[in-house]
């Protein structure tokens, strides 16, 4: 199993989940983060420092490690893509195309890669206020969303033209340990600070009262991607699945849990808003646009391991200095 971006926030938990199921994992990462490897309790992976823009490095990794499955997670995220759109197009699109082509030439059994529900765009396009895989994306004109939709279409080309087993998970989002900067990182930092007893203010991007978040706790996100990598091909009825929690939540459910777990912490502050921020208005979930993820559970048979309460509890323990572990 090759996991690109395998020492990132989600990648580390994908690697951990695959290793816990007895699979040999090879991580392919441009800037490996050794701290995130601490979540893998045993069967340590091989870590290859490599660039998805370098086709020769990719091919060598696939052949020398006898790879049968690829999980592709390496990417520039929302804020990084806005800051450097040219780099985002290179890493996110050319890098992903390189993965598909290397997999085609190497007879890889399955490629799983991630997109984002950000491709759906504003909720004004969807009168039902909920979307599923049959709804056509109205991709916002921002570098991150553009690259993700491009990758979806490229993956579908390889699936149809070459009959490759290519499976895309359109992630609603992930939250939890391992990333404390960037768009969702600021949400993680809020919970971490609350758990540590520090002053914690809810970021405005997530203060919209009617938000409908389907973000998976990062351990569940890792388990979900690993499940998609290993699930029997007979269960896979389409090339793309929305991937998020079975039920939506919002930041104020999280705050209620924080206050229940931390009754003596009076340093948690927030200001509820009646509209999403300009950035969040174009992202399903924070904008109030709900995402139907039922096919992930009904067709692929994924089962959530951690509900919101368990996730918040885990983050509090981490904020107090507990060592990350699989649950």
Which two structure tokens, joined as six digits, stand for 94? 């050319």
Encoding tokens for residue 160? 């149809």
Rounded CA separation 12/324 (Å)? 11
**Helix ranges restricted to H, 231-293:** 251-261
94-143 pLDDT tens trace: 999 999 999 999 999 999 999 999 999 999 999 999 999 999 999 999 99
Mean pLDDT of the chain: 93
Confidence of residue 323 (pLDDT cuts 50, 70, 90): very low
Q: Average pLDDT, stretch 285-295?
A: 97
Could you give the C-alpha distances from 195 to 20, 185, 189, 209, 322, in angstroms and in order?
A: 28, 15, 10, 23, 11
pLDDT band at 44 (very low <50, low <70, confident <90, very high): confident
Predicted pLDDT of residue 321:
56
Contacts of residue 298, defined as CB under 8 A and 6 or more positions apart, other chains included, come to none
> Is 326's pLDDT higher than 60?
no
Q: What are the start-end ranges of the H helices in the chain?
A: 9-20, 55-64, 78-83, 85-88, 95-105, 143-161, 183-195, 218-230, 251-261, 294-298, 308-319
| pLDDT value, residue 168 | 98
Q: What are the Cα distances from residue 268, in Å, to 116, 255, 277, 322?
A: 30, 8, 21, 21
- Work out the average pLDDT over 280-305: 96
Position 146 pLDDT exceeds 60? yes
Domain boundaries, the chain: 2-174+216-244+290-302
| Global confidence as pTM | 0.94
Non-local CB neighbours of 9 within 8 Å, separated by 6+ positions: 36, 174, 176, 177, 178, 179, 218
pLDDT at 178: 84
Q: 2-174+216-244+290-302 maps to which CATH number?
A: 3.40.50.720
Which pLDDT belongs to residue 217?
Answer: 97
Residue pLDDT, tens place only, 248-282: 999 999 999 999 999 988 999 999 999 999 999 98
pLDDT in tens, 179-214: 898 899 999 999 999 998 899 999 999 999 999 999
Which pLDDT belongs to residue 327? 36
CA distances from 26 to 59, 76, 97, 160 (A): 13, 21, 20, 28
47 - beta bridge partners?
A: 27
pLDDT at res. 42: 63
pLDDT at 322: 46
pLDDT(324) > 50? no
């Amino acid at each position: 199993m090759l996991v690109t971006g395998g020492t990132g926030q989600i990648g580390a938990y994908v690697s951990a989940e695959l290793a816990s199921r007895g699979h040999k994992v090879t991580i392919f990462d441009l800037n490996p983060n050794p701290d995130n490897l601490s979540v893998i309790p045993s069967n340590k992976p091989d870590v290859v420092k490599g660039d998805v823009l370098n086709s020769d490095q990719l091919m060598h990794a696939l052949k020398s490690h006898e790879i049968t499955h690829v999980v592709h997670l390496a990417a520039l995220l929302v804020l990084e893509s806005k800051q450097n759109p040219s780099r985002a197009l290179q890493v996110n699109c050319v890098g992903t195309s390189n993965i598909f082509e290397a997999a085609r030439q190497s007879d890889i059994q399955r490629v799983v890669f991630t997109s984002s529900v950000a491709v759906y765009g504003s909720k004004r396009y969807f009168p039902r206020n909920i979307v599923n895989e049959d709804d056509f994306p109205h991709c916002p004109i921002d570098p991150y969303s553009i690259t993700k939709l491009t990758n979806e279409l490229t993956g579908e080309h390889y699936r149809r033209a070459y009959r490759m087993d290519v499976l895309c998970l359109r992630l609603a989002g992930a939250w939890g340990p391992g990333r404390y900067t960037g768009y969702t990182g600021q949400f993680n930092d809020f919970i971490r600070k609350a758990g540590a007893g520090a002053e914690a203010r809810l970021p405005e991007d997530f203060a919209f009262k009617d938000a409908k978040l389907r973000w998976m706790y990062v351990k569940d996100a890792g388990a979900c991607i690993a499940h998609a990598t290993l699930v029997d091909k007979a269960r896979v009825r389409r090339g793309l699945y929305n991937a998020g929690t079975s039920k939506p939540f919002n930041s104020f459910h999280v705050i209620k849990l924080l206050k229940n777990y931390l009754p003596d912490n009076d340093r948690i502050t927030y200001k509820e808003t009646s509209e999403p921020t300009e950035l969040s208005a174009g992202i399903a979930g924070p904008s109030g646009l709900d995402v139907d993820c039922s096919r992930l559970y009904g067709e692929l048979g994924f089962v959530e391991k951690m509900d919101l309460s368990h996730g918040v509890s885990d983050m509090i323990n981490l904020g107090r200095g507990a060592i990350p572990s699989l649950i």
